[in-house]
């Protein structure tokens, strides 16, 4: 009897939303082939875990070769990602490159290997993890925000190009969720107490940490993605976020830049005694 179990390949599956999504797909009956840099191969928790570094062309090719020998992908879910916290001025070009190479170009590398397989099959589903930050920017996450904006534009192009081949594309735009590892959230090397942005940076990163620590349940996100992938047709965008984060997107879309800026500044930059950043330091008004 023909095996009707569908197969999904998941990148960035060792932690965070990638892990929770992979486990939800496993529980939903998918054969999960999971990739991450920390994996060494073999079975774990009902999933096949293969080594994968999405920034390395050879690693991507090797993962795809080994995974295809097990089963070609009915769906590809791309979750590999990282961020660097730092001011635009003090985040180095190397740090920007590292984030873009993982979050955006990692997806490009995987798609280049997987698309020929899906075209040959005449069908397939590709899920790209973007973020609320793919729709709006917040202070001190410029590298991450830039990478997610790149994914948004790339996905629009991709969806138009592959539609004639029966391939569907979906952007997932999560808000804050309780997940992830601090090793994938480093601070820019130049961000020190001597930085002219120090006070605002401390305020903003404390708010970011609070929102992530008190974010939504990542298991719920994983189950939602599994249910969507079970459908014959999948939406191009799926935002999975709290009510206030949905509202932030609508406010950003329909209000002017000045009003948006004032709202975000008030939310993220709360320096002691209401002080504002000034050139060369953090003096009070």
Task: Give the catalytic positions in this structure.
Answer: 14, 130, 144, 148
Nearest alpha-carbon partner for 124 in 154, 165, 68, 64: 165
Q: How would you classify the pairing of strands 124-129 and 7-11? A: unpaired
Q: How many CB atoms lie within 10 A of CB 51?
A: 16
Relative orientation angle of helices 16-27 and 218-229, to the nearest 10 degrees: 50
Q: How many CB atoms lie within 10 A of CB 164?
A: 8
Could you give the CA distance from residue 19 to residue 156 in angstroms, rounded to a whole number? 26
**Do residues 167 and 119 make contact, with C-beta atoms less than 8 angstroms apart?**
yes
- Which structure tokens are listed for 159? 């969806």
């Amino acid at each position: 009897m023909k095996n009707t179990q569908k197969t999904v390949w998941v990148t960035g599956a060792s932690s965070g939303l990638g892990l929770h999504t992979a486990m939800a797909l496993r529980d939903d009956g998918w054969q999960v082939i999971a990739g991450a840099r920390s994996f060494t191969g073999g079975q774990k928790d009902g999933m096949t875990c293969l080594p994968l570094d999405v920034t390395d062309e050879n690693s991507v090719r090797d993962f795809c070769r080994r995974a295809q020998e097990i089963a070609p992908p009915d769906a590809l879910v791309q979750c590999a990602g990282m961020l660097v916290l730092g001011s635009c001025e003090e985040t180095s070009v190397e740090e920007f490159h590292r984030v873009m190479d993982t979050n955006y170009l990692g997806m490009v590398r995987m798609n280049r290997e997987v698309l020929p397989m899906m075209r040959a099959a005449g069908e397939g589903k590709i899920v790209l993890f973007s973020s609320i930050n793919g729709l709006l920017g917040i202070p001190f996450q410029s590298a991450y925000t830039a990478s997610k904006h790149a994914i948004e534009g790339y996905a629009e192009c991709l969806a138009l190009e592959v539609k004639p081949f029966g391939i569907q594309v979906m952007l997932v735009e999560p808000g804050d969720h309780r997940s992830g590892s601090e090793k994938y959230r480093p601070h820019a090397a130049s961000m020190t107490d001597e930085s002219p942005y120090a006070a605002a940076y401390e305020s903003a990163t404390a708010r970011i940490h609070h929102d992530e620590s008190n974010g939504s349940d990542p298991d719920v996100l994983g189950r939602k993605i599994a249910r969507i992938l079970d459908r014959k047709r999948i939406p191009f965008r799926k935002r999975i976020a709290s009510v206030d984060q949905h509202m932030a997107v609508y406010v950003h879309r329909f209000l002017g830049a000045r009003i948006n800026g004032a709202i975000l500044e008030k939310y993220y930059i709360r320096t002691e005694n209401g002080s504002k950043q000034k050139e060369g330091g953090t003096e009070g008004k």
